[in-house]
A = this chain, B = another copy of it.
């Protein structure tokens, strides 16, 4: 199934920080068909380095979307039943306005003059897209990692539009360790002289710094176990042991490859802005407590975490679940067994599919979706 990326332009968006940004383009894809009542729409929210291409085959790259194993006919997000939308986030670099977009006031890329954005701003822009599509209420909002943060923000900030939310492998706020890993990535980018305070668009990209940042990320996305199974201590260049600087462990060449690949598809300034948005995200902000925030949510919740995910450990999902329970909200929670670490929500989708399918069927029934 070849899918096209659509785009819509809005005159402006008012950001939570007070600034106004405009015009704003939003890149999005959709799968399945919107029903007559426009009641079968599910908004999928991508993780940090994701994009609007969640499912199907890209005509440009020939590659499947990042959640193609979850979205499609008969899959967890069944496109025979549901209309699934996914858009690139505000601040991104895959079609939606971000630091690499041209600032109409100057004719040059915004770079570091792009306004600070938050998870709340990303969600506000998604709301504009959803309303543009004529949808008044989403059957569900779902995503893993940063996508899960957006799902939580949707449920609290726009409760009347959210029938259900499925935050996966995520948190209501970054811990010190999560902030620390993000900060290392930012420092790696900014340590690269080619970053040049963000003004690199007509020059050399900060490729080395961005690659190092991505390497750190990849370690945190996998588990100790999954790295052992995938690489162990195998050498790439030869079988015989002998230490020198030329011989590579397979895990080294893998990380270098993934790091260098990332440079071709991701903007370094987007890296800075989006990680900052994640670090500043705290669902309790302005409410006093997580429970007080989630009291505003009226959605049914399905919260999922994975045993070997040490980047977004299960205790962070339990904080969300406990806060929801403390306000008598409708919540189911499952910790799924997986060795794949944080990547599990992307690659180990067997049990996740069963849970999501059952949960959505119930919500669709209760919402009267035909």
Whether A227 lies near B180 (C-beta < 8 A) is yes
Knowing A192-B191, A211-B191, A285-B241, the reply to whether A231 touches B183 (Cβ < 8 A) is no
Which residues of the partner chain B approach A256 to less than 8 Å between Cβ atoms? 183, 187
A127 within 8 A of B: no
Knowing A176-B232, A252-B179, the reply to whether A224 touches B187 (Cβ < 8 A) is no
Closest to A247 in B: B280
Which residues of the partner chain B approach A245 to less than 8 Å between Cβ atoms? 112, 116, 272, 276
- Docked complex Cα distance between A299 and B208 (Å): 47
Knowing A187-B212, A243-B118, the reply to whether A233 touches B176 (Cβ < 8 A) is yes
Which residues of the partner chain B approach A228 to less than 8 Å between Cβ atoms? 175-177
Q: Which of B173, B181, B208, B231 contacts A219 (CB 8 A)?
A: B181
Whether A183 lies near B215 (C-beta < 8 A) is yes
Whether A255 lies near B17 (C-beta < 8 A) is no
A259 within 8 A of B: yes
Which residues of the partner chain B approach A184 to less than 8 Å between Cβ atoms? 212, 215-216, 219, 255
Whether B116 lies near A279 (C-beta < 8 A) is no
Q: Which of B112, B252, B310 contacts A180 (CB 8 A)?
A: B252
A242 within 8 A of B: yes
Whether B215 lies near A173 (C-beta < 8 A) is no
* Residue interface bits A210-254, CB-to-B below 8 A is 1, else 0: 011001101100101001101111000000011111000101100
Within 8 A of B (CB), among A160-201: 173-177, 179-181, 183-184, 187-188, 191-193
- Docked complex Cα distance between A218 and B183 (Å): 12
Whether B244 lies near A116 (C-beta < 8 A) is yes
- Docked complex Cα distance between A219 and B220 (Å): 12
Give min CB distance, A157 to chain B, whole Å. 16
Whether B232 lies near A208 (C-beta < 8 A) is no
User: Can you list 13 residue pairs at the A/B interface with Cβ under 8 Å?
Assistant: A17-B244, A116-B243, A176-B224, A176-B228, A177-B228, A183-B215, A183-B251, A184-B216, A184-B255, A187-B255, A224-B313, A241-B285, A243-B280
A residues with a Cβ closer than 8 A to B are 17, 112, 116, 118, 173-177, 179-181, 183-184, 187-188, 191-193, 208-209, 211-212, 215-216, 218-219, 222, 224, 227-228, 230-233, 241-245, 249, 251-252, 255-256, 259, 272, 276-277, 279-280, 282, 285, 310, 313
